[in-house]
């Protein structure tokens, strides 16, 4: 039988052993999530729910687009980072292998997305619109909400594009893409591919809004009319409206946003087993791609009461809209956000 003195002596020892074992488990698990990403391909993530599969633009009257070389100038050791290394919220850290080319992957994704979205594509040596560029910075931060849940990925691309038409003088366009998505397992590679696929759509939308000027496709015009009439909408239809760049969509989406909650929810969402970031976030993503300053007052007013994913999309919208007022909101609201995903995004926007 143990006396009291033995219990007093062994209790702290057992607790210390427990802490050491726990620390060892954390180290082992963390080490398991570090490594090298040797290959990326678009077919690694075939169906991100935000990927459009129907036309967004009517490109019949617009000169075709040639998507040339997009290079990458990123540090291969700093792209894939952990957002969290907690016991139950492990993120993934990895280096990019020498064969991984984020720029080439983005160019490939844009070439595949352009005709789906309604734009005509052509070889680089043809006349018409030409675009090339460089990925100046890229970040993928990840966190697993639980040990059994999907990996939550927050991606960021900073791209400098050169755009010309019919061999004329090239104009420069800086595009930043901020993407949040869920991927199965603990795959940073899938997270990066999802970011590239989603960013390719938004880059094309920005190119169209700034240069090509293709009008919205007839289906998108019809969807916008349905939205104004109060009909139920699929998430992807909301995103198509945003990608179209139609300025008439801004007031409709702003009217829709405050009503999108509780029993007034009008979005038809995907099955419960598919993780989505929330209908309100997708509405704000659409507003981000429309790029209208008219969205700033309502988004700023609602920021503090929104959930994390919606605040992330709101900061994305501030950056895509741009201008002094939007940047001031990023500094005021984003830099003070208690969630790392939002604060980190705000810091990247203002740097």
Q: Report pLDDT digits (tens) over 295-328.
A: 999 999 999 999 999 999 999 999 999 999 999 9
Q: How many domains does the chain have?
A: 2
Judgement on whether residues 313 and 338 belong to the same structural domain of the protein: yes
- From 277-286, 289-298, 311-320, the region with the lowest mean pLDDT: 277-286
Packed helices 249-256 and 218-228: angle between N→C axes, nearest 10 degrees: 40
Does 7 map to a domain?
A: no
- 164 vs 24 pLDDT, higher one: 164
Please determine, for residue 25, whether its predicted confidence score (pLDDT) is greater than 80.
no
Domain boundary among 165, 180, 212: 212
Under the banding of pLDDT at 50, 70 and 90, the label for residue 235 is confident
Same domain, 73 and 170: yes
Supply the pLDDT for residue 99. Answer: 92
- Per-residue pLDDT at 109: 96
Q: What is the pLDDT of residue 147?
A: 61
Please state the rounded mean pLDDT for residues 11-24. 47
Handedness of CA 266, 270, 275, 277 (dihedral sign): negative
**Could you tell me if 270 and 177 lie in one domain?**
no
Which residue range(s) make up the domain with 312?
218-350
**pLDDT value of position 23:** 42
Cα–Cα separations (whole angstroms), residue 12 to 20, 25, 26: 12, 20, 21
CB–CB of 115/60 below 8 Å?
no
């Amino acid at each position: 039988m143990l006396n009291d003195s033995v219990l007093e002596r062994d209790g702290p020892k057992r607790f210390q052993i427990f802490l050491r074992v726990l620390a060892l488990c954390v180290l082992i698990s963390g080490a398991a999530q570090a490594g090298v990403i040797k290959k990326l391909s678009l077919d690694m993530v075939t169906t991100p729910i935000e990927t459009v599969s129907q036309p967004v633009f009517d490109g019949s009257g617009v000169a075709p687009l040639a998507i040339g070389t997009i290079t990458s100038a990123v540090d291969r050791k700093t792209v894939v980072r952990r957002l969290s290394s907690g016991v139950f919220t492990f993120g993934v850290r990895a280096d990019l292998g020498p064969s991984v080319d984020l720029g080439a992957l983005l160019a490939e994704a844009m070439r595949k997305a352009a005709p789906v979205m309604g734009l005509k594509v052509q070889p680089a040596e043809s006349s018409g619109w030409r675009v090339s560029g460089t990925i100046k910075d890229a970040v993928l931060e990840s966190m697993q909400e639980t040990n059994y849940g999907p990996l939550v990925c927050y991606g960021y691309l900073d791209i400098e594009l050169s755009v010309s038409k019919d061999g004329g003088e090239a104009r420069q366009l800086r595009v930043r893409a901020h993407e949040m998505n869920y991927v199965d397992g603990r795959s940073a590679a899938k997270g990066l591919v999802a970011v590239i696929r989603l960013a390719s759509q938004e880059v094309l939308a920005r190119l169209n809004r700034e240069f090509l000027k293709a009008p919205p496709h007839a289906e998108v015009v019809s969807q916008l009319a349905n939205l104004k009439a109060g009909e139920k909408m699929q998430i992807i239809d909301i995103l198509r409206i945003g990608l179209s760049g139609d300025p008439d969509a801004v007031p409709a989406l702003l009217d829709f946003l405050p009503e999108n909650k509780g029993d007034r929810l009008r979005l038809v969402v995907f099955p419960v087993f598919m993780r989505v970031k929330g209908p309100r976030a997708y509405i704000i993503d659409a507003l981000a791609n429309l790029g209208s300053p008219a969205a700033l007052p309502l988004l700023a007013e609602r920021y503090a009461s929104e959930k994390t994913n919606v605040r992330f999309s709101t900061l994305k919208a501030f950056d895509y809209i741009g201008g002094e007022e939007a940047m001031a909101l990023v500094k005021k609201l984003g830099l003070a956000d208690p969630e790392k995903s939002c604060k980190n995004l705000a810091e990247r926007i203002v740097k």
